[in-house]
Amino acid sequence: MELLIWIGILFCALKAATFSGLNLAYFSVPVLRLKILAKQNDPQALKVLSLRSDPNFLLSTILWGNVSYNVLLALLANSVMAGLSSFFFSTIVLTLIGEILPQATFSRQALKFGAFFAPMIRFYELLLFPISKPTALALDYFLGKESPRYFNEKDLIALIEEHLVSNELHDISFAEGRGAIEFLKLDDRLVKDVGQNILALQSLSCDFTNGRLLKIDFQPKASDAFLKKLLHCRCEWMVLLDEKGEPKLALDINRFIKAVFAGKPVKVRDFCVKPILVDDPNAKVSTVLKHFVRKTKSHITDPNIDGAVVVYWNGKTRKILTSDDLMSLLLKE
């Protein structure tokens, strides 16, 4: 008879240890991480997430099971040992075997143990349903349902920076991490504070009719007045202004000059893009970012010119922002 009691004590200790370890295993992995892994069809995450769908019910089942086995262990120990020795035995067994060892072990392989013992937890959810479910409903009523904790912008930046300085192996390169961080900061940057200043030589008054650029006559010679202005500009883009001095088009100088001296018949407007005009001093870079992926609609006749052009034009502050500037902004150190 005494042997059966000791077997019962061992069984209760193992069960109490399992419940204690699972309590930490199931709730040490954030719901958001479980959802991310589940979208990658991780079988362990899918099993754990299924149980976490009703967290208070899961918690109630684990705690009721843990307490039940702890109490039963103490009663069995008391039946084979005297009072003080029973107390010390129960305390040592419950602390070392029932709490410290399982929690230290399960916490290091939370998903693995959580998925492995999922069928057992399902069984105890049915067995303890009469007491664990009402407890869970009470917790839902007073504390509310569990919801994923999503990262805000500052948290995401800090998380990526931690990955970049970590010595552990990861698949986020410095360029990827720095680009992601700067991308998240775009809504904090003003258009007027980025890009290149438009120099006096970088703007040219032209004739427009109903918003359409009239033909500009020039000779494919270095001495031609129009070409000399472009060559002296030493910039990538020339901003073409109407009679009111308002920017209408942006001319890709390098591409245009290359085509001219290649001996091809060219028209100026074929190498122009209609810039995204910004005059709001509070406009953020993030508000114009979408235009950089709508190339076809922003070009007049040649959809093959890479990148959109943003022109900030407000009083004496005049800036031009291109896709190259944007990439430099994202990858700066």
pLDDT over threshold 80, residue 100 = yes
pLDDT the model gives residue 297 = 46
pLDDT of residue 110 exceeding 70, the answer is: yes
DSSP assignment of 223-238? T-HHHHHHHHH-SSEE
For the ranges 65-79, 104-118, 222-236, 244-258, the maximum mean pLDDT occurs at 104-118
Each residue's pLDDT tens digit, 143-153: 988 888 888 88
Compare 110 and 197 and report the one with higher pLDDT. Answer: 110
pLDDT tens-digit readout, 283-296:
988 888 877 765 44
Phi-psi group of 263: left, alpha or beta (phi > 0 → left; psi -120 to 50 → alpha; rest → beta): left
pTM: 0.66
Model pLDDT for residues 119-146, shown as the tens digit of each residue: 999 999 999 999 999 999 999 999 988 8
What confidence tier does 301 reach under pLDDT thresholds 50, 70, 90? Answer: very low
Rounded Cα distance between 120 and 9, Å, is: 20
| Among 3, 9, 8, residue whose Cα is nearest residue 93 | 9
* pLDDT, tens only, 254-292: 999 999 988 878 889 889 988 889 999 999 888 888 777
pLDDT of residue 105: 93
What is the model's pLDDT at position 289?
80
First to last CA, the chain: 74
Sorted by where each begins, the domain ranges of the chain are: 2-143, 153-184, 191-330
What dotted CATH number matches 191-330?
3.10.580.10
Give the pLDDT score at 329.
80
